[in-house]
């Protein structure tokens, strides 16, 4: 029987214009898809409806086409699939692996207080001190009925007990040399899997979508390397397959900061408006 061709995806968030770092990641996806004889998908990770806008999405598509990329359609827009994430969230909650959390950031800082050396997650946020973890069902219902909004957190201890501690993934890095990485999901503590303002999270949506879209090879920046530990845990809990991961280095500015909207990285459209050709842009980042 012939094996299905590999499936890759570029998954930007349409909350701004693409910069060189995005182009680099998209081109790496494209190159690996070609090398493997695979398919390339484009996914709009637009769960944050306040920040993600249709005009950014249109601009992303235009910029990617200008760069010479092509992908299969239809493009999956996460905002159209909140019900897919809700099913999995309910699944985790019903199994006692997730719980509602009513804390604001301020509540969390107050609960931690002046305790020194409080552990932080790989993104730098303090680990959740567990305030809402042992709240009784009646109190949870009362708060929800009174209109309090809640995030949903993974109960890390229970999740690890259920998934077992031997989690890992196949990491190919950027030179396609495979190694086995041991996942360390506990570093994330009771991570948020559905936000207060959005009925899902990046972590939950990405594992659900990668599975639904049969993604076999995830090519993305190394800033998401640590998040992969949490993704693997969610995949095991939800009985979803594990893709291969290919984390690549990030493009940085002269000061050494990774290119991002917050460091005001120049957008591809600005470079284009300044007269750069697609071939020049590609060559400037090694393609
Ligand atoms: N949407 C994420 C981003 O723009 C990428 C997620 C992923 O590739 O897993 O950073």
Q: Which CATH class is domain 81-164+183-212+227-238?
A: alpha beta
Centre of ligand 1 from the C-alpha of residue 111, in Å: 31
Centre of ligand 1 from the C-alpha of residue 220, in Å: 7
Q: Which CATH class is domain 1-80+252-287?
A: alpha beta
As a whole number of angstroms, the distance between CA 224 and CA 248 comes to 10
217 lines ligand 1 (CB under 6 A): no
Q: 1-80+252-287 with 81-164+183-212+227-238: one CATH topology?
A: no
Give the model's pLDDT for residue 245. 98
Centre of ligand 1 from the C-alpha of residue 71, in Å: 17
Determine the atom of ligand 1 nearest the C-alpha atom of 227: 9
Domain boundaries, the chain: 1-80+252-287, 81-164+183-212+227-238
Percent of the chain predicted with pLDDT > 90: 92
13 lines ligand 1 (CB under 6 A): yes
Beta bridge mates, 267:
19
Q: What is the model's pTM?
A: 0.95
Instruction: Kindly tell me if the per-residue pLDDT of 261 is higher than 90.
Output: no
Residue nearest to atom 3 of ligand 1 (CA): 12
186 lines ligand 1 (CB under 6 A): no
Instruction: Kindly tell me if the per-residue pLDDT of 2 is higher than 80.
Output: no
């Amino acid at each position: 029987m012939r094996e299905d061709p590999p499936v890759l995806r570029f998954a930007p968030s349409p909350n701004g214009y693409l910069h060189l770092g995005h182009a680099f990641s998209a081109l790496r996806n494209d190159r690996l898809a070609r090398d493997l004889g695979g398919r390339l998908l484009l996914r709009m990770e637009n769960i944050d409806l306040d920040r993600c806008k249709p005009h950014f999405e249109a601009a992303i598509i235009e910029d990617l086409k200008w760069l010479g990329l092509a992908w299969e359609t239809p493009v999956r827009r996460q905002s159209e699939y909140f019900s897919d994430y809700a099913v999995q969230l309910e699944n985790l909650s019903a199994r006692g692996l997730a719980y509602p959390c009513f804390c604001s950031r301020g509540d969390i800082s107050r609960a931690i207080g002046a305790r020194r050396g409080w552990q932080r997650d790989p993104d730098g946020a303090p680990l959740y001190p567990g305030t809402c973890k042992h709240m009784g069902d009646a109190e949870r219902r009362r708060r929800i009925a009174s209109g309090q909004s809640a995030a949903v957190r993974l109960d890390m201890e229970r999740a690890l007990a259920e998934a077992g501690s031997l989690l890992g993934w196949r990491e190919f890095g950027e030179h396609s040399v495979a190694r086995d990485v041991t996942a360390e999901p506990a570093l994330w503590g009771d991570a948020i899997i559905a936000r207060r303002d959005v009925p899902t999270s990046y972590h939950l949506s990405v594992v659900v979508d990668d599975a639904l879209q049969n993604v076999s090879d995830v090519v993305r920046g190394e800033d998401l390397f640590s998040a992969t530990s949490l993704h693997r845990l969610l995949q095991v809990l939800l009985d979803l397959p594990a893709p291969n991961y290919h984390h690549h280095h990030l493009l940085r500015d002269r000061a050494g900061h990774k290119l991002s909207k917050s460091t005001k990285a120049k957008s591809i459209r600005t470079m284009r408006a300044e007269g750069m050709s697609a071939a020049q842009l590609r060559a400037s980042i090694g393609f």
